[in-house]
Structure 1
Amino acid sequence: MSDSKPVAPLSVKDLFNSNTQYVVPIYQRNYAWGASEIEQLIQDIYDASGNGESRNIQDKYYLGSLVVYKRELKGNNQQTVYETIDGQQRHTTLSILLAYLKNLKTLDDGELNELQVNLCFDSRPKSTRALEDIYLNDANSKKEEPSIHAAYDIIERFFKIKGLNKAFEAQAFCNYLLNQVTILRVIVPQGTDLNHYFEIMNNRGEQLEKHEVLKAKFMATLESGEETNAFSAIWDACSDMKRYAQMGFKSEDRRAVFGNDWRTIPSSFNAIQSKLGHQKEVQRAMTLRKIIENKSSHSNNDDEEREKEQRFGSIIDFSNFLLHVLKLIVAGDSVSLDDKKLLDAFISKEGRLKVDAKEFAFELLKFRILFDSYIIKPDMSAEERKWSLQKLTSRGNDSSLSPDYPSSFSSEQNPSVNEKIRMILAMFHVSHPSHVYKRWLNHSLAILRQLAKDNSKLHVNGNEYLNALEKLSNDFLDDISKEDGQLNEEVFHRGTGVQNFVFNLLDYRLWREFTAGKSFDGKGLDNIEIKKHFDGFQFSQSRTSVEHYFPQTDPSGADKMGEDVHRFGNLCLISQSSNSRLSNYYPDGKKSFYQENHRAESLKQAIMLSYDEWGPEEQGRRNIERHEKVMIDVLRNRK
């Protein structure tokens, strides 16, 4: 393939050609991808290779673009050198993924051996050295460049959990990655001001999104200006996932549609349309350009109210939410939750919409209000990000209403139900942080629809909701750990191959039982070492790395526990940064670190830290075995 083409589709094998070098310049940020982005990239390739929900193999999978500038080199240099302008994170992750595959002993490594590290960093020699080290399966640079080694660990764990470390599955994945996964390399012209170009690339103007194309397609099917006006008002109000849907309507429309309390939803699309009938008509068949220009035509622009809205984030984006609603109203397993397939999910091969525009808009609004009221949101105003479970209502008198955000279940007889629901939802979310493939969210929305059935205020009973979420957590655990109807404990003893959900579910149940005054391993909240870690406990998205409390190898490289080091009793979930820093410490050193610097990162870990002895011999071994039995019993208990 010629290196001179300004735009060229490259297979991954072509990208890592040994005659080509890519350099990350000084103005680029450090490698910053974490578990969510890395796992999503591999999951997308995994699905495209025929292993996902649809089981359909895509002939080519397009990974995006790599924008580069060809460097003019002096001397007789045989390599072509490109400066990376856009796409560094993706390219670095592919480099780390290839290093992992190269180090698997089960692969036929003929094609892999033809490839080499061809990415380096102008101003960060540690990053260059780290990439070279992982290609050689060497951890020498782990402490000086933990982010690259942490990414390698994330990939290794993904393969273990998916079972892709088996010879056949890994080989098939590798073959697809090298030959069918394609990236579009774009070479900018010589003489380009690279600093200016980079600034443009990172400050792009508003671009047309797939959900805006879908909106135009829906609106073209409507028959009158009143219908398109109502549809556009609902769509625009729902499209900003970082504010409550009612706040997307102008003040007068909000009261007309939702009543003085902002909680009553009309019975149909036509009922909403009639309440918006006083507004100026919108052109029926809007062009895409007009849709972009008028995106905020229905929005509330009250500065005071918008300031209050900014405190909330969202666990999902609008394109993903549209797919959840579609999957729920058509009740079909054929609807993928992958937003890259958004248009295919809604539009048939013949170009027709699969759902009626008015019906979908009404269901979209209902599910958004259920989502806003009864699914957690990140509270961006907190110093340490916490999870919010609050509904929107109004306060004030008829002439002056302002937003109020009480707890979603503040009126329940059991005052702790809101906190329990908040925690179990957070547990589900941090176990599956990516925006796509949130099965738990789809199930939760289905539960909410059933509980709010025939209810104009979409009221949900908190105890019934909590019971349904508890059952859902049991079902998810069964999917992981049951074989032939029996609990298979072996799945808990796989070291880094144990899924995050298992640890997070255990922490939720420990939190719930500690709150009720129970104790485990004979250790309850009367133990100061337990209580200080329990107080203020929150589920964190940064906890993605499985730690061996007694290390796999000590600083001298000795392995003192053998395979038993991977037993569940010796494992807990912590952040990547902590694991990189502490991986080879003995338990006493880890305990000192957490005592001196911050609270434990999980409740299971807090219990482990409270032991005086922990290790492969005598009392240390007995403590591990005792702790493990009690923790697995907590997971067994379905109540």
Structure 2
Amino acid sequence: MSNSVASGIFSINDIIATDTIYNIPRYQRLYVWTNDQVTTLLEDIQHACFTERPLFYLGGVLIVRTSDTLPHFDLIDGQQRFTTLWLLCLTLGMELSGFLEVEEKSRLTFSIREDVTRYFDAIRKNKEFKGKLNGQLEAGSLTKIIYAKNLIRGFVATEFKDQPERLEKFRNYIRYQVKVIISTVPVKTNLNKLFEVINNRGLQLQHHEILKSFILSKITSDKKVRIRYGKIWNACADMTDYIERNLYYEASRSVVEFYNLHNGQFDFAGLLRIMDGKDTVASPMTLSAIIESRPPKNNEFKTPRELEEHPETKDDEYENVRSILTFPQLLQHTLRIYLFRSGKKDIPQITEKDLLVSFAAFLKDLTEKEALAFIELLFKIRVRFDKHVIKWVTTSPNTETHLIKPLQKQRKKAYSQTFYFRREKPSGSDAFTLLQSMLYHSQQKTTLHWLTPFLYKMLSTENRDELLIYLQKLDNAMFCTKDPDELMKRSWKYLGKEVKVAPEAINLEALKKSDGTGFWHYWFYKLEYVLWFMERQLHPDWRNFKMISKNSIEHVSPQSQKRQDFNTVSKACLNTFGNLALVTRNINSEYGHNEYNVKQRKFLNNKKDNRLDSLKLDLIYASDEWSDDLCNAHNLKMQQVMKDYVEKYT
């Protein structure tokens, strides 16, 4: 009997073609999904079907074989999804009826709960259930199942009323395009230990782990090569530390000798030579190996200070860091670059939950050469990502800030041949970090489309000044022009090209409107960066300014004005860009509807405490007065400084 965990991806049609029976064991809870959860699943599948997505991953289930001779399994994790799928196939019927039963017996059974099994038999045969349930627990669970069954029937009846062709398309999509990841554990598995791992460490396979397995499985010519590329992948996958430290953990030795300080690149061939270990693709991993290899979710197993370090290493070089991207997001940005280089079409969108869908076309006819090339590209991008892209850095117990800590290779002492890596904290703010921080806070964080062309640019230059100018131009081209394309298309069109924008394409008209709280937050974030970049020499107290998340638009002259406030503006100015600023929700509440001079005192007190809430407000509150004339003058100045900046970097 095998002592390994085997995982595979199956369509509903694949399952129909088997005579496998799945049992819900007694120790598993019965059905608990709410109507909202069922509705969300139905809507997600419907959306995937009619937006022509090639695949829909339902998730994973974990099963254990219960018979040496028959294909019978206990379903020990994922039974909520599986039961919902069974109910959906029950409602849709036709070709999907094969999912419900095996040789006239239900494909889904329930240990010891004979009455529940009889209920499923009854609805499968379209008969009335007349059994009696044992206790409130089973009755309550069955109520949830009945609610789910009725909800699914109502959904299908409503969404596909008098639309037989759409219904047939939906039915076929579920049969062939909905996929389930099924992992089988050995018969003699210690289930108590297994559940502990599932709950505490998350045994459920992540999509990027499945993707890794697919890509590595194409490397068949040399087992050692597969192992080494697998370790490179692992080093790229850990987004909670820097790449050189991840390489250290994978190689169990320093990799500093393979880093070229002059070109900022690693000797990839040299790294491969020192990566040895166990092959996890040639055969399924043993359960014990999975248990031991899975780190706890908080990554406490790592002890960075065990790394060989420079004698002058400071504590802040080991401040906790986290990426602005997840690994699946980085994979999708890498895939876009790979596809562009290969002359192929872009993926439909960047979305973490659709990682495997994004890679479906890439994986279809993947060769060993392409698999090796993709992993090497992933590594090159990850190295540059860690070198040139901001990270969240924990600078105190309750404070995170965006920083770029450049990778340095230093000698132990003069003329020494012993080198060490260092990541020293920069002093003060810099344009490169602030610009990225502005883009991070002002754009959708689950996509960050601007990163694809930015990462591509890094493959051709390591010069920080060149990268800054490129990103300034890219930002202006993507967000300050009349380009009607969606952001995916905008970011794709700038891959491999110098960014040039015609003056007539610049569009800053939004700043002239009176949109009040309807202003796009990007304009406020952008202005903060532009002010700092263009005027920081005039304001020494702006030296340490940082971008932070802000979500409230503040009216300088409040919407509800008080009689004693003589520093007010008219309705004509109230909702203009000049009378507004973007602040945190706490600051917005603190200012409230207070009169101008009260807000001014609060702002200046915060500034004395080294909390500079807004550069725009710093300019406004430099004056003890506020009026229509001052508001209009400030507004025109802000529009002009923005115009000057955008025209300079297009």
User: Would you say the 8 A contact 1:492–1:568 is kept in 2?
Assistant: yes
Provide the rounded CA distance (Å) in 1 between the counterparts of 2:547 and 2:57.
34
Contact 2:261-2:409 at 8 Å conserved across structures: yes
Q: How does 1:532-611 map to 2 (within 5 A)?
A: 532=541, 534-541=542-549, 543-554=550-561, 561-562=570-571, 564-598=573-607, 599-611=611-623
| Residue of structure 2 in register with 1:393 after alignment | 408
Which of 336, 352, 361 is residue 339 of structure 1 equivalent to?
352
Distance 1:361 1:46, change over 3 A: same
- The one-letter code sitting in structure 2 at the alignment partner of 1:56 is T
Instruction: Give the structure-2-normalised TM-score.
Output: 0.57
Shift of the 588–46 alpha-carbon distance from structure 1 to 2, 3 Å rule, reads farther
Counterparts in 2 of 1:372 and 1:568: CA distance versus 1, 3 Å: same
Letter in 2 for 1:209: Q
* Residues 55, 227 of structure 1: alpha-carbon distance in 2 compared, 3 angstrom cutoff: same
CA distance in 2, matches of 1:631, 1:546: 16
Contact 1:246 1:262 in 2 (8 A): no
Q: 2:470 aligns with which of 468, 471, 487?
A: 468
Counterpart of 2:431 (choices 420, 424, 429) is 420
- Report the CA distance between 1:611 and its aligned residue: 2.1
Task: Write the deviation string for residues 395-452 of structure 1: whole angstroms up to 9, x where unpaired.
Answer: 34577543212579x9xxxxx9x92212212221221262x1101222221221232x
1:98-137 aligned at under 5 Å gives the runs none
Residues 219 and 285, structure 1, Cα contact 8 Å, conserved in 2: no
Aligned CA distance change for structure 1 residues 536 and 448 (closer, same or farther; 3 Å): same
Assess if the C-alpha contact under 8 Å between 1:219 and 1:286 holds in 2.
no
What is the alpha-carbon distance in structure 2 between the residues aligned to residue 49 and residue 479 of structure 1? 35
**2:381 paired residue number:** 367
Q: Is the 8 A contact 2:256 2:420 kept in 1?
A: no
Partner residue in 2 for 1:507: 528
- For residues 569-622 of structure 1, the C-alpha deviation after alignment (integer angstroms, 9 at most, x for no partner) is 0111100122133232222221122223443411011111122222xxxxx110
**Residue type matched to 2:640 in 1?**
D
Provide, for residues 431-489 of structure 1, a one-character-per-residue CA deviation record: whole Å limited to 9, x for no partner.
1262x1101222221221232xxxxxxxx122211211111121133247999836352
Q: Provide the rounded CA distance (Å) in 2 between the counterparts of 1:484 and 1:624.
A: 28
Name 2:229's counterpart in structure 1.
231
Report the CA distance shift for 1:635/1:12 in structure 2 as closer, same or farther (over 3 A): farther
Looking at structure 1, the residues matched to 201 and 294 of structure 2 have their Cα atoms a distance apart, in angstroms, of 15
Distance 2:454 2:584 in 1: 27
Q: 1:283 to 1:480 in 2, by over 3 A?
A: same
What's the CA shift for 1:513?
2.0
Give me the whole-angstrom Cα distance separating, in 2, the residues matched to 1:225 and 1:201.
29
Within 5 A, what are the aligned runs for 1:379-458? 379-382=393-396, 384-397=399-412, 401-406=419-424, 419-432=430-443, 434=445, 436-451=446-461
The answer for the alignment partner of 2:147 in structure 1 is none
- Distance between the aligned counterparts of 1:575 and 1:202, measured in 2? 38
For residues 554 and 57 of structure 1, the distance between their equivalents in structure 2, rounded to whole angstroms, comes to 53
Secondary structure of the structure 2 residue equivalent to 1:8? coil
Match of 1:245 in 2: 243
Query: Alpha carbons of 1:257 and 1:548: their partners in 2 closer, same or farther (altered >3 Å)?
Result: same
Aligned to 1:318: 327
Contact 1:242 1:313 in 2 (8 A): yes
Instruction: Evaluate the alpha carbon distance shift between residue 46 and residue 549 of structure 1 in structure 2; reply closer, same or farther with a 3 A threshold.
Output: farther
How far did 1:385 drift? 3.3
Structure 1 residues 14 and 372: alpha-carbon distance in aligned structure 2, compared to 1, 3 A threshold: closer
Query: Where do 5+ consecutive residues of structure 1 fail to align?
Result: 16-43, 65-199, 411-415, 452-459, 518-524, 526-530, 615-619
User: Aligned ranges for residues 43-442 of structure 1 at < 5 Å?
Assistant: 56=51, 204-207=200-203, 208-223=205-220, 224-250=222-248, 252=253, 254-255=255-256, 257-258=258-259, 263-266=264-267, 272-273=271-272, 275-276=273-274, 279-287=276-284, 290=289, 293-294=292-293, 303-305=305-307, 308-331=317-340, 332-348=345-361, 356-382=370-396, 384-397=399-412, 401-406=419-424, 419-432=430-443, 434=445, 436-442=446-452
The residue that corresponds to 1:68 in the other structure is none
CA shift, 1:265, in A, is 2.1
Which residue type is aligned with residue 447 of structure 1?
K
Q: Distance in 2 between matches of 1:45 and 1:315?
A: 31
TM-superposed deviation, 1:368: 0.6
1:375-406: per-residue Cα shift (whole Å, max 9, x none)?
11222125753332222233345775432125
In structure 1, C-alpha distance between the alignment counterparts of 2:586 and 2:198, rounded to whole Å: 27
2:509 corresponds to which residue? 489
Report deviation, 1:545. 1.6
1:323, CA displacement in angstroms?
Answer: 1.0
| Count of matched residue positions in the alignment of Structure 1 and Structure 2 | 430
Q: Is 2:570–2:628's contact at 8 Å kept on the other side of the alignment?
A: no
CA RMSD after TM alignment? 4.4
Q: Relative to structure 2, which stretch is displaced further, 397-406 or 479-488?
A: 479-488
CA distance in 2, matches of 1:555, 1:60: 59
Q: What residue is the counterpart of 1:30 in the other structure?
A: none
Matching residue of 2:95: none
**Counterpart of 2:598 in structure 1: which amino acid?**
G
Secondary structure in structure 2 of the residue aligned to 1:515: helix
User: Does structure 2 retain, via aligned residues, the 8 Å contact 1:311–1:379?
Assistant: yes
The 2-side partners of 1:540 and 1:326 are apart by 30
Write the letter of the residue equivalent to 1:6. Y
How much has 1:495 moved relative to structure 2? 1.7
Counterpart position of 2:35:
10
| Equivalent in the alignment of 1:73 | none
* Whole-angstrom distance in 1 between the partners of 2:552 and 2:348: 31
Q: Is the 8 A contact 1:387 1:422 kept in 2?
A: yes
- Identity, % of aligned pairs? 22
Distance (Å, rounded) in 2 between the aligned partners of 1:390 and 1:585: 41
Query: Partners in 1 of 2:442 and 2:482 — Cα distance?
Result: 13
Matched residue SS, 2:409: strand
Contact conserved, 1:244 with 1:392, CA < 8 A, in 2?
Answer: no
CA–CA distance in 1 between the matches of 2:642 and 2:326?
32
**Secondary structure, aligned partner of 1:379:** strand
Q: Distance in 1 between matches of 2:43 and 2:199?
A: 31
- Shift of residue 367 of structure 1? 0.4
CA deviations on 1:252-307 (whole Å, 9 max, x unpaired) are 3614643699954236xx6643x236x345254253655674467xx986534398
Q: Residues of 2 paired with 1:213 and 1:62: CA distance?
A: 12
| Unmatched segments (≥5 aa) in structure 2 | 1-28, 60-195, 296-300, 309-314, 485-502
Normalised by the length of structure 1, the TM-score is: 0.58
